[in-house]
């Protein structure tokens, strides 16, 4: 029995590119507990909060329950559930799982295979991570579940759906001229960029292609926040929920726009081009912004940061125009942007930052 193949083929809701990482998260959690020497059954009422926290942090933005994977993972042959009445799950309802003392554990055959071949655990974990989450989240997700994945053995890619295009990083960084599309960071050590990464907008694990129009050049911080749903992409300030035409946007280094209605002849938009604004005082434009796209940065209202650093590097991004791509390079495709907004971005976006006159 190929347990790595089973981990790669967990039955999940897949319609319309919908993310449903419930089963992979539960299986990673169970593998971690087994690795730590805990071969006892996992009582639902005891692990419910742990699983709920994992789903809230690494699952889709909509509300969900750990009862779903606890019950349904049984159908994949890697998990078993029993209650105080005997073998079998009482159903996917939270109340039933609690009331019957439902407890789950890895299937007996899988536990025996893991004891015979300890490296199997690492290979299964690697497949679950590769096929369900972006690489930027792998390390912290392993820490969150307490897992120490071993190195994958030769032949692991045979269960993956396809191989990545190694040219993706270079193509995306070139398109955005080796600077973060959100903040403009462009650090280097000698000639080599440092802290810059090619982010997939639609995750590779969910059929996101390795092409420029599905990529962004982001610094390490903003890549992580983008993959965690703190940051997103909107079409324009006027098109985003919670905003209206005439609301200004921060340029990223202190610039803003404001509506002037004092003339009595209609409103006009003026740009703040003072020192440190990042704006060209002659043209009133941000020379770093891309010329071929109206994409603007979304910041989730769910994000909370009280420090000056959090306000400067995250909150102040709300409504800011994307930096790049350079003329002639393809901007992020609408379909990929829409997928990220539906499947990754958390909640509603903050209105664009404004300076009051």
One pLDDT digit (tens) per residue for the chain, 357 residues: 699 999 998 876 655 667 788 999 999 999 999 998 877 899 999 999 999 989 888 887 667 789 999 999 999 999 999 999 999 999 999 999 999 999 999 999 999 999 999 899 999 999 999 888 988 889 888 888 888 765 434 334 444 445 667 788 999 999 999 999 999 999 999 888 999 999 999 998 888 999 999 999 999 999 999 999 999 999 864 444 433 333 333 333 333 333 333 333 333 333 343 333 344 433 334 444 444 456 999 999 999 999 999 999 999 999 999 999 999 999 999 999 999 999 999 989 999 876 533
By the 10 Å C-beta count (0-12 exposed, 13-18 middle, 19+ buried), 283 is classed as exposed
- pLDDT at position 192, please? 86
- pLDDT at position 104, please? 96
- pLDDT at position 280, please? 40
- pLDDT at position 166, please? 73
- pLDDT at position 14, please? 58
What is the distance between the terminal CA atoms of the chain, rounded to a whole angstrom? Answer: 69
Angle, helices 119-132 vs 135-145, to 10°: value is 130
- pLDDT at position 150, please? 55
User: In terms of DSSP bridges, do strands 296-299 and 231-234 run parallel, antiparallel, or are they unpaired?
Assistant: antiparallel
pLDDT in tens, 66-124: 999 999 999 999 999 999 999 999 999 999 999 999 999 999 999 999 999 989 999 99
Select from 229, 245, 206, 203 the least CA-distant residue to 314: 229
């Amino acid at each position: 029995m190929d347990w790595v193949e089973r981990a790669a083929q967990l039955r999940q809701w897949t319609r319309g590119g919908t993310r449903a990482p419930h089963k992979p998260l539960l299986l990673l959690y169970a593998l971690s507990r087994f690795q730590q020497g805990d071969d006892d059954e996992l009582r639902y009422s005891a692990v419910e909060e742990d699983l709920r926290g994992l789903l809230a942090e690494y699952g889709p933005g909509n509300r969900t329950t750990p009862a779903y994977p606890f019950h349904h993972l049984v159908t994949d042959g890697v998990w078993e559930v029993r209650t105080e009445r005997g073998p079998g799950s009482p159903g996917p309802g939270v109340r039933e799982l609690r009331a019957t003392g439902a407890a789950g554990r890895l299937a007996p055959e899988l536990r025996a295979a893991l004891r015979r071949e300890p490296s199997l655990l690492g290979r299964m974990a690697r497949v679950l991570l590769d096929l369900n989450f972006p690489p930027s989240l792998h390390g912290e997700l392993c820490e969150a579940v307490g897992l120490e994945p071993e190195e994958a053995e030769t032949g692991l890619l045979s269960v993956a759906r396809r191989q990545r295009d190694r040219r993706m990083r270079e193509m995306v960084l070139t398109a955005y001229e080796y600077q973060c599309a959100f903040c403009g960071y462009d650090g280097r050590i000698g000639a080599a960029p440092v802290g810059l990464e090619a982010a997939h907008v639609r995750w590779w694990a969910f059929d996101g292609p390795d092409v420029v129009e599905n990529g962004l050049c982001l610094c390490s911080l903003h890549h992580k926040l983008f993959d965690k749903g703190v940051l997103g992409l909107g079409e324009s300030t006027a098109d985003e929920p919670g905003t209206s035409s005439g609301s200004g946007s921060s340029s990223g280094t202190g610039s803003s726009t404001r509506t002037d209605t004092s003339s009595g002849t209609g409103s006009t938009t003026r740009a703040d081009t003072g020192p440190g604004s990042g704006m060209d005082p002659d043209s009133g434009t941000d020379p770093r912004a891309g010329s071929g796209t109206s994409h603007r940065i979304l910041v989730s209202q769910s994000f909370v940061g009280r420090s000056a650093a959090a306000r400067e590097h995250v909150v102040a991004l709300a409504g800011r125009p994307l930096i790049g791509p350079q003329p002639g390079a393809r901007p992020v495709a609408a379909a990929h942007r829409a997928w990220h907004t539906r499947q990754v971005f958390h909640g509603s976006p903050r209105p664009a930052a404004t300076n009051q006159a």
